[in-house]
Amino acid sequence: MKKTSTRLADGRELIYYDLRDDAVRDAVDRRPLDPTVTTSEVRHDPLLGDAVAIASHRQGRTYHPPADECPLCPTQGDRLSEIPDSSYDVVVFQNRFPSLAGDSGRCEVVCFTSDHDARFADLSEEQARLVLDAWTDRTAELSHLPAVEQVFCFENRGAEIGVTLGHPHGQIYAYPFTTPRTALMLRSLAAHKEATAGENLFDSIVEGELADGSRVVLEAEHWIAFTPFAAHWPYEVHLYPRRRVPDLLGLDEDARAEFPKVYLELLKRFDRIFDTGDGAEGSAGESPTPYIAAWHQAPFGALEDFDGVVREDFALHLELFTIRRTSGKLKFLAGSESGMSVFINDVPPEAAAQRLREVASS
């Protein structure tokens, strides 16, 4: 992998990640851009104890542009985009409309491929490995910023999720705090460790799923994927490396080498879940399966609020889930979910796992 860092016309950082070591990246951003102005502010909710980012400048962000005006495609002639070069493998750049900025953290966009019409599942294993290497490199770099406490790499796919740009891409949020979801995990981890004289909760969950077997979706030498016992979403898969590590930086070469094959297979299965069997995906005109893919990594900040827990107790894992519950129907977060944070799942996790096994590649 070759890494080349440059600057866009408004001063934002852009980084090329290339498969070839002889790649030359010297194109200049020719757009007449003014310096980026953001209004991001993190506010603390005294009742719930969580944080909310207020970012009014995002109201003006690019919204469903036509394909020939996509800002994530390479620059071609006089059609200028966020990427100055005429081609790329993987590109990461600072978001022009960030939810977090300055002392409130940082937001980056990850373009998985220059092919506008591709999906992550269409990438080769070599390309998918390059994305993993980019995620890892950005996690390492962002963790050193003074304002950053936790790094979150994720992909939103599909208009139903709220994606406003159709080009295959993901994002990285570098938070100035430990996120509420991670804090819940750390509290559960601490309680389990104390109650069991030192056992690790993540290890117990993975071992339990392997022993039960009914929710296991895929097993590989270095990775295990399963639907959790109390899945929140209709089709939800958790992917763990068999050797517990706290973050992407901790993965060894064997796990890194195997990840692309495993992850691409999971994504392809998600695209087959609602296949009607007649060659058409879902109901007439239905879009590909919308999903969120989210990496959970240990925070880099101090863990003194979680008695007895150290970073190495946390288990890196990826959560992949869709908001579609059946063909043509979405799972909405209505009163119980949005008002009380109590999820109601219409699809038993065991049935979801069975369906995901049925649609495995032959």
Q: What does the mean pLDDT of the chain come to?
A: 94
Res 28 pLDDT > 50:
yes
- Enumerate the active-site residues: 169
Q: Is 23 in contact with 90 (CB distance < 8 Å)?
A: no
141 with 105, same domain: the answer is: yes
Last residue of a domain, one of 175, 209, 233: 175
Q: Encoding tokens for residue 179?
A: 């996120």
Q: How many domains does the chain have?
A: 2
Higher pLDDT, 161 or 61: 161
Query: Which CATH number characterizes residue 344's domain?
Result: 3.30.428.10
Q: Are residues 112 and 227 in the same domain?
A: no
What is the model's pLDDT at position 135? 98
Domain edge (last residue) among 175, 208, 233:
175
What pLDDT score does 95 carry? 95
**What does the alpha-carbon distance between residue 173 and residue 101 come to, in Å, rounded to a whole number?**
10
Q: Kind and range of the H or E element at 195?
A: helix 180-195
Which residue, of 119, 150, 175, is where some domain finishes? Answer: 175
Query: The dihedral of CA 73, 75, 81, 87: what is its sign?
Result: positive
Does the predicted TM-score (pTM) go above 0.85? Answer: yes
CB contact at 8 A, 103 and 38:
no
186 and 304 share one domain: yes
Check residue 279 and give its pLDDT: 45
Distances (CA, A) of 189 to 98, 185, 204, 308: 32, 6, 11, 9
Shared domain for 238 and 224, answered yes or no, is yes
Q: How far apart are CA 218 and CA 357, in angstroms?
A: 8
* Separation between Cα atoms, residue 1 and residue 16, nearest integer Å: 10
Distance of CA 46 to the CA centre of its chain: 28
d(CA 323, CA 326): 9
Under the banding of pLDDT at 50, 70 and 90, the label for residue 276 is: low
222 in the same domain as 353: yes
Phi/psi region, residue 352 (left: phi>0; alpha: psi -120 to 50; beta: rest), is alpha
192 HSE (CA, 13 A, CB side):
15
Both tokens of 212, joined, read 């039960």
User: 141 with 254, same domain?
Assistant: no
Give 203-236 pLDDT, tens digit per residue.
999 999 999 999 999 999 999 999 999 999 999 9
User: Does the structure show a pLDDT above 60 at 178?
Assistant: yes
pLDDT above 90 covers what percent of the chain?
88
- What is the CB neighbour count within 10 angstroms for residue 15? 20
Q: Is the domain of 103 the same as that of 220?
A: no
304-343, pLDDT tens digit by residue? 889 999 999 999 999 999 999 999 999 999 999 999 999 9
Are 195 and 166 members of one domain?
A: no
Top-confidence residue, 140 or 61: 140
What's the whole-number mean pLDDT along residues 22-31? 96
Residues 237, 267: one domain?
yes
Query: Are 160 and 200 in a shared domain?
Result: no
| 259 vs 133: CA distance, rounded Å | 11
Give yes or no: residues 18 and 167 share one domain: yes
Residues 52 and 192 in one domain: no
pLDDT at 4: 98
User: What's the rounded Cα separation, in Å, for the pair 224 and 218?
Assistant: 6
User: What is the domain range of residue 67?
Assistant: 2-175
Query: Which amino acid is it at 216?
Result: V
d(CA 41, CA 19): 37
CB 17, CB 92: distance < 8 Å: yes
